[in-house]
Amino acid sequence: MQGTIAQIVALVLEGNAVLRDVDSPGMGMEHSANTFCEFVHFVDLDKTPTGWSERQIAADPTAWFQYLKEHGFMELRMSHGPSNDPNVDGVAVTDRMLVGFVGGGGVWSVQANKPNSSDYWAARWVVGDQQSADRRIWRVTYGRVAGNRPPSEIEQVDLQSLRDQFCDVLMRVEAFATQKRLDGFAACFARGLEDLSAESPIHGFHKEFANASLISREAIQLLSAAQSSWVFGGMGSWNDLGFDGEDQATYESLSEALYRISNRAIVAATNTSAMGSICRAASTRNSVGPMKRPWWKIFG
């Protein structure tokens, strides 16, 4: 799982634990989702005579959770939607092919909900000191890109059905990888299948996600499987493969199916940590209306 995605999962899980007063590991800089981050800040914007300036409202995730609690927010949810016309040098590509790049892979955001309104937050990842001895090179800032919006539509998500769909895709893509003697990738898919039926997570890298006090066993299984079977990235990843003839079409179809179901599983499982345990439908870039913060350059 990309670090940008894992950090949003962590923010929603740990934030909901705070808002619900549920025991959790917390999200200090020692959290696995912050391993390579120099800092994780949260900002709003102030109007100035010459334009806009960022105003920090929280210096770290822990302070942000407290800010949300003090300002009447009840829950956090994450969403994922397609990018707007993803391309490379003018050539159309799928979000899956760009997920290895910061800012690629679709649009991810955090939704902070009050009873009758929602704020939306998006991340900006910028490289800092690449020679840092502790390898904490990423400077991450979450900006409030929209505020005081009507709550988005909700939908019920059947985690058991989602788990069955995930299992079906993993079985098919594992068979393909095995047939093509891609043993390393086949092992990743096999670990994902094991996680979907495990009584406790056995392979997921981010162990903090497996909080049985906060989310159900099915949700933990989905999050662990999504991590174990995540093979998308840049050079040397599953995305970097190519085949001849019909095998290429099969590879493309299976890859897109795996990418879609992985993201659905991540969003649905994570959002069960919210107070209502009802997952919101994944939103697109325009689902919350025109952004009130045109100043916010999400990546770069």
24 pLDDT above the threshold of 80: yes
Q: What is the DSSP string of 143-202?
A: EEEEEEEPPPPB----HHHHHHHHHHHHHHHHHHHHHTT-HHHHHHHHHHHHHHH-SS-S
**Helix or strand holding residue 38 (H, E):** strand 37-48
Q: pTM for the complete prediction?
A: 0.85
How sure is the predictor about 234, in pLDDT bands with cuts at 50, 70 and 90? low
pLDDT at 131: 83
List pLDDT tens digits, range 258-299: 989 999 999 999 999 997 644 443 343 334 443 444 444 544
CA 157 to chain centre: 17
How much helix, strand and coil, in percent to the nearest 5, is found in the chain?
40, 20, 40
pLDDT at 258: 93
* Residues whose CB falls within 8 Å of the CB of residue 172, separated by 6 or more in sequence, listed in order: 254, 257
**Helix or strand holding residue 44 (H, E):** strand 37-48
99 pLDDT above the threshold of 90: no
Inter-residue contact 169 to 226 (CB < 8 Å): no
pLDDT at 84: 63
How sure is the predictor about 133, in pLDDT bands with cuts at 50, 70 and 90? confident
Inter-residue contact 270 to 78 (CB < 8 Å): yes
Residue reference for tokens 């107070």: 275
How sure is the predictor about 185, in pLDDT bands with cuts at 50, 70 and 90? very high
Inter-residue contact 262 to 216 (CB < 8 Å): no
